Chains A and B, each alone.
Chain A
């Protein structure tokens, strides 16, 4: 019992100390902490990183990059104050804001393709064919894939939680192996390049982002109030991301090379994947309102969704589904 007391006292003192140490001069941050995840949907971020765009725009600011494995980890890092800028899917951001987090969305970076792949011989052609024993792999609970699946369930089966018991959280590579090994994992809500791998292996898509949402959903850039209120810093970040997006959309040689090296794929594959149906690199934020309303209605959020501007900084522009189709 004594040990528990001592432990709690130390814990308390530590948290008090860190709470006091967080006060910094907001005008000239010495360093900026950013975190990105793996995969082609984060290409604008690592292109910006490789080209040193942000360093150029923000002389004197030390950039501290890290790789985190998902939206949940991003949330924890943002809330604990160890991160200023995060790149992640929309649903985890909405959950954090719903719980009282003070960070918001600054812009979008990419609308990645998302497809539910199943084995061709599984007999599954629609969600209602999925049996109790069959599992659907998603990258994690509350990931965009999970919410999209819930939306499709609501639309097709009338119950957003119909397939909750079938979900298993697996990283894309793990899920790819599980799907290929002919296991209980009958479906994989995959992102690039795993959609392409699985398609090449003869798996078929029974559901995509459009079926669920009407259009794809953005991967977004999330920033803390300290970053957003520092106009120079915030604008520099947005400009650099926009520049990287433009370079990707222009199929710049050097940029394609960077993506190929990062993803360990060939230049042809890079082009194929960039041109993939449903893939869009843009700074507008797509499908935020739809996701917010759905998540609030079906219990993924505790409060009502108060609209696009309640979860974004003023810089964020709402993307229109028609624009997305035009861009293709």
Chain B
């Protein structure tokens, strides 16, 4: 049983390594065929730029800065989403208001709000956080409310018949029963946060006190440092894969998968 698991893991690791190797090989082949290093930089120069950025700390610094802002943005959004969803569940008219807000504001791209945010909050981290919270909050709230709305009636009735009411009913029945859609909300929020942060920095350059990964791409772009740009894109992809595998997959494993719940 354990051996079986281990060999499965080894196999999947092998496939991953082979896959990455094949991608790098294909890329290198294309770069050689095209021979236009500015458009299609060779894999070796991308990897060496990546290595340099990681070893001299510049990429790590920018990554840290972006991650810090994203975590603050996510934290604020979760707080607001929890507050708004509780109010919507406990006060009927508030649910309508929430849905109106979502349908009015969710389609509005965060980057379109940035000029306004800069006017309101000045430069610095505040307009970035504002744009990020705007980008995360509405899809997250929508997912939570949809999750609550699609909780099977039977759980509500069982909960009420054992004596749960109001906030306790939401916390002990509605929240666990909606975990699949709450997780979906977190996933959407997470990717929206990245998009908001990177695109803001790519339009305005440094807005916060120090530049993050969006600024990194922007400055490499204007200096036509294509290998560096691809190196940053790789870092962003790696973070995405890591968060997906290490965070969301694990949360799913100890919750919905263990409980036999599927959407």
Contacts and interface: CB of A to CB of B under 8 A. Distances in A.
Nearest to A12: B30
A169 B218 contact: yes
Interface in A1-43: 1, 4-5, 8-9, 12, 15-16, 19
B221 A72 contact: yes
A5 B23 contact: yes
Interface stretch (B37-45, B77-85, B135-143): B37-45
Nearest to B119: A181
A128 to B, nearest CB: 21
Interface stretch (A91-99, A152-160, A232-240, A267-275): A91-99
A15 B118 contact: no
B123 interface: yes
Given A1-B15, A181-B119, A183-B118, A100 B38 contact: yes
A127 interface: no
A99 B38 contact: yes
A247 interface: no
A135 B124 CA distance: 10
Interface residues of B, number: 34
A12 B30 CA distance: 7
A80 interface: yes
B205 interface: yes
Interface stretch (A170-178, A203-211, A217-225, A251-259): A170-178
Contacts of B33: 16
A185 interface: yes
B224 A95 contact: yes
A327 interface: no
A19 B36 CA distance: 10
Contacts of B37: 100
B223 A4 contact: no
Contacts of B22: 5
A63 interface: no
Contact of A167 (B36, B119, B124, B206): B206
Interface in A113-170: 135, 140-142, 165, 167-170
A142 B224 CA distance: 11
Interface string A73-95: 00100011000000000001001
A183 B222 contact: no
24 contacts: A5-B19, A15-B34, A15-B39, A19-B36, A72-B221, A75-B224, A79-B38, A79-B39, A92-B222, A95-B224, A140-B222, A141-B219, A141-B222, A141-B223, A165-B206, A168-B204, A168-B205, A169-B203, A169-B218, A170-B205, A177-B115, A183-B123, A185-B123, A300-B223
Which 5 pairs from chain A and chain B are nearest by CB?
Answer: A169-B205, A183-B122, A142-B222, A184-B123, A99-B224
